[in-house]
Chain A
C-alpha cells in the first residue's frame, strides 16, 4: 500500500473492498429493478462482500423493496454474510438482510445510496 496521503492513490483496505463490492452489488440490483419495473419477479444479484461471488436469486419486486427500506440494508444469500463486517437483521428462506455496524462502511453506503437525499 502506498504511504501517500491521497486516499484515492492507496490500495483499499480489505474492509473497504468488501464495502465497495456490496455497494456495487446494490447498484446492479437497483439497475435491474429499474429495468424490470413492477410487473414480475426479477433476478437480483447477491450483494455480499465475497469477491468471488456471482450468485443470483429471484425475488418479487416487492420483496426487494422490503430489503431496500434503508441505505444500510443489503441483500445476501444465506451463508454469504461476513461476520466481521455484517450483522444479520432478517432471515428469510431464500435470503438474508444484513446491515453494516462499522461507521466507515455505513458512511460509504449512505453516500453511495441513490435513494438517500
Chain B
C-alpha cells in the first residue's frame, strides 16, 4: 500500500491496486485533489479516456455538492471518497457529513446531480445517518 496524499491538501488517503480511499476537508480547495486522484485511479484500472473524463467530472460534481452541503449546514467536516474496481465495474463513492441537500439550498444541486446521472451507468444516493453518500458505477470496459 502506498500513501496517496495529494499535494497541497491536508487529508488522509491510501491506495491499493484496486482500491482508493481519500479523506479531505469539506472545502473548495479539495475538489481538484479528489478529481485528480479519482481520475488517476480510474486510468490505472485500464478504462478508456472517455470513462476517465466521466469519472473526473462526476467526482468533481459530487464533491462540489458535498462541500456545498457542508457550507449550508455550517459544518467544518470532511468529504470521503472511496473507489474500487471489481466484476467489470469501477465503483466510486463520495460521502459527506453535512445536513443534506434540500435543507435550505437547492441552487445548482439538481444540476450537478443531473450531470452525474448522465455520466455513470448506475447512480444511488443514500441519505441515512449524518450526511449523504453518492454511489456511482462506471463500466471498466467502456
Residues of B within 8 A of A52 (CB): 118
Compute the total of residue contacts between A and B using a CB distance below 8 Å: 86
Cβ A8 vs Cβ B89 within 8 A: yes
Given contacts A9-B140, A11-B139, A43-B110, A20 and B102 within 8 Å (CB-CB): no
Residue of A at shortest CB range from B99? A35
Q: Which of A25-33, A64-72, A82-90, A92-100 contacts B (4 or more CB under 8 A)?
A: A25-33
Q: A8-B87, A27-B117 are in contact. Are A36 and B110 (CB under 8 A)?
A: no
Residue tally, chain B, CB below 8 Å to A: 29
Q: Mark A1-12, 1 if CB is under 8 A from B, else 0.
A: 010001011111
Residues of B within 8 A of A21 (CB): 117-118
Smallest CB separation, B91 vs chain A (Å): 12
- Bound Cα distance A8, B67 (Å): 32
B28, CB-defined interface residue at 8 Å: no
* Contacting residues, chain A, for B41 (C-beta < 8 A): none
List of A residues within 8 angstroms of B102 by Cβ: 32, 34-37, 42
- Assess whether B111 is interfacial by the CB under 8 Å rule: yes
Q: Does chain A have a CB within 8 A of B125?
A: yes
A46 to B111, CA, bound (A): 10
Contact partners of B125 in chain A: CB under 8 A: 27-28, 30-31
Choose from A2, A6, A10, A54 the contact partner of B111 (Cβ within 8 Å). Answer: A54
Q: Is the CB of A10 within 8 A of B103?
A: no
On chain A, the number of residues with a Cβ less than 8 Å from chain B's Cβ atoms is 32
B118 and A53 contacting across the interface, CB-CB below 8 Å? yes
> Shortest distance in angstroms between A32's beta carbon and chain B's nearest beta carbon?
6
**Measuring CB to CB, which residues of chain B are less than 8 angstroms from any residue of chain A?**
87-89, 100-103, 106, 109-111, 113-118, 120-125, 127, 132, 139-142
A-B contact pairs, 16 of them (CB 8 A): A8-B88, A8-B89, A9-B139, A12-B121, A20-B122, A27-B125, A28-B113, A28-B117, A31-B125, A37-B102, A42-B102, A42-B106, A45-B117, A52-B118, A53-B118, A55-B114
Which residues of A does B touch, CB under 8 Å? 2, 6, 8-12, 17, 20-21, 24-25, 27-28, 30-32, 34-37, 42-46, 51-56
